[in-house]
Amino acid sequence: MSSTPSSVTVPGPAVPAQALKEQSRLRLGATWALIKPYWKSEDRKAGLGLLVLVVALNLGIVYINVLLNEWNRVFYNAIEQRDFVSFKALLLRFSWIAACFIVLAIFRQYYQLMLQMRWRTWMTGTFLKRWLGHQAYYRIEQTHSTDNPDQRLADDLRQFTDGALTLSMGLLNSVVTLVSFIGILWVVSGPISFMLGGVDVTIPGYMVWFAIAYAVVGSLIAHFVGRPLIGLSFQQEQYEANFRFMLVRLRENSEPVALYRGEPTEEASLRARFERIRANWNQLMRYTRRLTFVNSGYGQFAIIFPLLVAAPRYFSGKLTLGGLMQINSAFGQVQGALSWFVDSYATLVGWKAAANRLIDFQEAMRVAEREDLAPGGAGDIEVAPSANPADRHIAISDLALALPVRADLDVDEEGVDPQAQPAQLPLVAPFSLTIGPGERWLVNGPSGCGKSVLFRALAGIWPYGAGRITTPQARVLFLPQRSYLPIGTLADALSYPDAGTAHSRDALARVLEQARLGALVRHLDVFDNWSLRLSPGEQQRLAFARALLQKPDFLFLDEATSALDEETEAAMYRLMVETLPDATIVSIAHRSTVAAFHDRRLRYVRAADGQAGDGGVSYRVVQDA
């Protein structure tokens, strides 16, 4: 079977500093473009309603904090004055304030989680539609334009929506808190006067300016220290996903690994991939340690900073104990609001890394869509239906086949260059061919010559090359060498891509009997991973049973009997010919057993020197009657 280079993503060498810098970019415009669509979608009314409710609850919590700030002043004044009656009343007042705070906090968290899931549900549906639409999932794998799309759909989307809401609500809370408390701090702190160069200087609301200066310096230091964490978090997600993929791959191929006694090799491979995780984690630890040092020092000093600054006024008798505690509380609220960036930096780093991975994934899907929709994009292979409904021929005109050689995407400052095109390696010289109804073609040639690539081009999923393919309005079915069996009941696996209920149980049982799989009839309702439970030969016979259900007008078999013995292989082809006498059959195969069921031949031969043409192709196609 001809094939293109493997599309499995494995960790490469350590990411260079330039790549780490690239992955650490903020890409604010692209991030906003990722956020905006949901709030304009069909679900925007419900989303905006929940958002307004969460915002209102946040505002309620800020108001509770304002009440607590005032309560601080009165409470500590009562303690200073030893007013036991007021002390008891204030404790009762604190109880209902605290109860309101708890209720608001619980409902805010509940509705924020509800909004997060609605947003994630919409984004997951949108990304899945784009990933599966235009067969982007297939094209991305061919060009290696992005790694581990499963991890981006499952983990990065969750982290993105969770982080976006958490950070935005935190920022809103900080802004409202700042607006609510900056006036209080300005009034209660009062002015400070001092001599500077013989001049009497007075600063009104001096605690506000101290809070602003403290937060600005802390934010700048935190960003300087922590920015590399964005790129390192990006890489950590990639390495974790690669390691998880290799574990799943080992589980799915447990039998051949066991037969080869390949455990030492697999262990070495897994350890090498985990070593990437460990090495990157060490860098994350170093930068996280620095950021934690900054955040912890910043937060701890902020506890005593307002007391140190306000203490002179208290000890001079210009402030009461309640006033001092109110200043301390108000300063903490203002400084905390201004320190949103510092306090949220670790969360912001993880969220931005997830956003950058989603941006790359989205751009890769955009390129794949363009390849599918735009003639002359990735290639010039045009697949179009015949204008004549009565036409039952597949017409191939000047078809040249090529392979993509691009390893990744070219990026500009906002992501993927929308004009970037994958480079192509010419493979097969242009040829023309007409496949008529009821004809049976055998395609053979050296391994790697492009036989399977031809089938992919006929299926409309291979854009690399040039030429035109006109297809009839008929039922077409492709059976690859390794058939796909979804996890589910055996009926689902047999009926794919239809649901297991699309065909009667009698029909399913009949085709299993015809494909020499009668022993499986009693397992039609058993849920299992049938690609692991059935042998390769059983899987190929199940694919023939699937063809009997589908009853295609054109049947393409890509070494679909390679795991069968010659007698069973002949029986399967005889079954197709007798059961589907009017179907056109095109097979890639090498055995003489298969040749006996075909009357036409398409051969791939190596292009001799001087015959390759200007394109530098490796093979030519020869038709034999």
pLDDT one-digit tens code per residue, 181-222: 787 778 777 776 766 777 777 778 777 887 888 788 877 888
Q: Name the residue among 557, 563, 589, 536 with its Cα closest to residue 459.
A: 557
* Calpha distance 334→185 (Å, rounded): 8
> pLDDT > 70: what percent of the chain?
89
Q: CATH classification of 17-363, choosing from 2.40.280.10, 1.20.1560.10, 2.40.220.10, 1.10.1060.10?
A: 1.20.1560.10
Backbone angles phi, psi at 247, to 5 degrees: -65, -45
Let me know: does 2 contact 451? Beta carbons within 8 Å: yes
Residue whose token pair is 């609001």:
337
pLDDT of residue 624 exceeding 60: yes
CA-CA distance, 63 to 180, in Å (whole number)? Answer: 8
Beta pairing partners, 416: 411
Asked which of 277-281, 380-384, 518-522 is least confident by mean pLDDT, the reply is 380-384
How many whole angstroms separate alpha carbon 227 and alpha carbon 170?
A: 20
Q: What's the pLDDT at 3?
A: 40
The two tokens of residue 272 are 């090498």
Residue spans per domain, the chain: 17-363, 376-485+534-625
Helix (H) or strand (E) holding 185: helix 157-189
Beta strand pairing call for 424-435 and 394-404: antiparallel
Percent of the chain with pLDDT over 90: 31
Q: What gap in Å lies between CA 411 and CA 344, rounded to an integer?
A: 29
Residue 421, CA distances (Å) to 143, 376, 378, 407, 458 in order? 10, 10, 6, 11, 22
**Any residues with CB less than 8 A from the CB of 245 and at least 6 apart, and which?**
8, 9, 148
Instruction: Give, for 614, the enclosing helix (H) or strand (E).
Output: none
Name every residue whose Cβ is closer than 8 Å to that of residue 36 and which is 6 or more positions away in sequence: none
Contact 224, 17 (CB under 8 A): no
Alpha carbon distance 123, 179 (integer Å):
34
Q: Largest Cα–Cα distance in the chain? A: 111
Q: Is the pLDDT of residue 568 over 90?
A: yes
Other CB atoms within 10 Å distance of the CB of residue 380: 16
> How long, in residues, is the chain?
625
Question: What sign does the CA torsion over 620, 621, 624, 625 have?
Answer: negative
* Backbone torsions φ then ψ of 339, nearest 5 degrees: -95, 20
| 404, 475 Cβ separation under 8 angstroms | no
Quick one: average pLDDT of 408-434? Answer: 63
Mean residue pLDDT of the chain comes to: 82
Dihedral angle over CA of 184, 186, 187, 193, nearest 10: 160
Mean pLDDT confidence for 13-22: 52
Which of 148-152, 254-258, 572-576 is the least confident region?
Answer: 254-258
Higher pLDDT, 562 or 209: 562
Among 242-251, 400-409, 486-495, the minimum mean pLDDT is found in: 400-409
Q: Could you count the other beta carbons within 10 Å of the beta carbon of residue 367? A: 27
Answer whether residue 21 shows pLDDT above 70.
no
Check residue 398 and give its pLDDT: 92
Alpha carbon distance, N-terminus to C-terminus of the chain: 23
* Tokens 């297939």 found at: 138
Check whether 593 has a pLDDT greater than 60. yes
For residue 497, whether the previous peptide bond is cis, meaning omega lies within 30 degrees of 0, is yes
Instruction: For residue 399, give the H/E element and its range.
Output: strand 394-404
| CA angle in degrees (0–180, nearest 5) for 473-479-482 | 155
Identify the pLDDT of residue 328. 77
Q: For position 365, what pLDDT does the model report?
A: 87
pLDDT digits (tens, 9 = 90+) for 63-111: 898 888 888 888 888 888 888 888 889 899 999 999 999 999 999 999 9
**DSSP class per residue in 241-253:** HHHHHHHHHHHHT
Contact indicator for 368, 139 with CB cutoff of 8 Å: yes
| CATH no. for 376-485+534-625 | 3.40.50.300
Does the global pTM surpass 0.95?
no
Q: What are phi and psi of 444, to 5 degrees?
A: -145, 170
Whether the CB-CB separation of 455 and 588 falls below 8 Å is answered with: yes
pLDDT at 50 over 70: yes
Per the model's pLDDT, the better-predicted residue between 583 and 313 turns out to be 583
Reported as a single tens digit per residue, the pLDDT across 283-297 is 888 888 887 787 777
Helices 505-514 and 536-550, packing angle to 10 deg: 130
CA dihedral of residues 49, 55, 59, 62 (deg, nearest 10): 150
Cβ-based burial of 114 (10 A; exposed 0-12, middle 13-18, buried ≥19): middle
